[in-house]
Structures are given as structure tokens and as C-alpha cells.
Amino acid sequence: MPMHDWTRVDAGIFHHFHLGWLDDIMRSLNRGLLPAGYYAMAEQLAGGLGPDVLTLRHPDESQPPAGDPAGTVALASAPPRVQFRIRAEANAYAASARSAVIRHTSHHQVIAVCEIVSPGNKSSRHALYSFVDKAATLLRAGIHLVVLDLFPPSSRDPEGIHKAIWDEVIDNDFTLPTEKPLTLASYLGGPIPEAFVEPVAVGSTLPDMPLFVTPGLYVPLPLEATYRSAWEAVPAFWRNVVSGTEPSSISTEPIEHTKP
């Protein structure tokens, strides 16, 4: 299914889709995509992230499981097919929307987070900074991250959400391809974060993106199938507006016009 232009509707319509897409992603993860011992739940990760996230222990890497968990893919043998793979320098860092939070049953610690960017995340400098700071905080804590941004760059993130996040890791000159201004990004958290970035555009078919469960293992996140399922749950009128086949009776304001 070609990806749609969500700038044609206001934030409330996208929020409805956002919640449905996130739910479908979590259903896919919990219905067998995640390996045994992992689960996904919808949670709110507030600014600062708090002890409920950051003080939870990570799996004991001194006692790795025997063999790779079923359903995972080894990064070394099958690296994700993305246009850009970026690694930070070793000394770069020491180790109100819902998110899909993946935990492990050993101590119910946070392993990974999946975030869908909303218009509100780019509505002001403070809003963008809060999102970027939360993402960087997760990565520093060793928590893996997936960020899905279906909105074009604004004056606050002129090269897209990935560069804004990656600038918190290390200064960089990442540039989005002009013909693909939307961003799908997967990150390995830890002392040496790594990014796997796939630029896309309206009309693109969404590729699978890696959701890391350990630094060396990931599950392919089925973005196309979950997007399609969430799209089908959007009311027909608004699907027509987003598709451009019916004009909206509601005036919408682009992100660029929102005052900081």
C-alpha cells in the first residue's frame, strides 16, 4: 500500500491512525513475532523517563541464552537493508503519546521502544526538544529504539527527525534525500549507539525495519502489514481526505505555521 500524505488532515485524525498503527504493531509483536520472554505493551514515557524506565536492569549479558531466540535475525549475518548505517564514535557518550514498550519477563525491564512521530512532536522547539531528548536518553540507557516519522521536515528539523536525534549522540552532517523526506529509523542503544535509517516518501511501500532485542539480534518489524491494517480502521471519509479524493471541511494548519 502506498504511504499517504498525512499533512492533509489535522493532528486529531492522525492521532486516531497513530493509536491504531501502534496497536497493530504490538499485536504483531505479541502474536509470535517477539521471541520467548519478550512482550510489548502500550505505555506513556514522560519527559525525564523516571526510575520506572531508567533504573530497570538489563538482561544479564554474562549468561547469554543457548542459541539465538526463535524469530530473531543475527545482525552480523543479515544486516538490515537500509540506505544508511551510522555508528557513533566510541567516546561520544557514556553508557504524551503512547509508545510501544518492549520488556523482558526476567525483571520486566525495558528492552526497546517504538515511537511514531506525531505533528505535536514538531509543533514547537520545546516539543521537538522533548522528543529528541527522550530518544537520546533511551539510547544512553542502552534501550533500543524505533522511530517512524511520516511527516516532512519542519524548520525545527530541516533534515528530519533522525538528524535531530543523532545530533544528541554526535555532531553529524546527515542529509535526507530530497525525493525521500520521511524517515524510518532503528537504533541500537548503549555506549556506542548505532543507527539504521531508511528514508521514504509519500507513495512508498513501507519496508520492514529492525527492532533490536539485543545488540546482535533483531526482529523484522512488519510496517507495511500493520500500516495497512490501521489504515483500514480509519473512517472512510478521512481516508478519502488523506488520499486526496475528497476535500476536507476542516481547515488544517501546517506544522510550519505553528508558533514556537
The rounded Cα 173 to chain-centroid distance in angstroms is 21
In contact, 40 and 29? CB cutoff 8 Å = yes
Could you read off the pLDDT of 10-69 as tens digits, one per residue?
888 898 999 999 999 999 999 999 999 999 999 877 655 555 554 444 444 434 444 566
Query: If pLDDT is split at 50, 70 and 90, which confidence band does 90 have?
Result: very low
The least confident of 39-43, 150-154, 222-226, 252-256 is: 252-256
Could you read off the pLDDT of 98-156 as tens digits, one per residue?
889 999 988 888 999 999 998 888 888 888 998 999 999 999 999 999 999 999 999 99
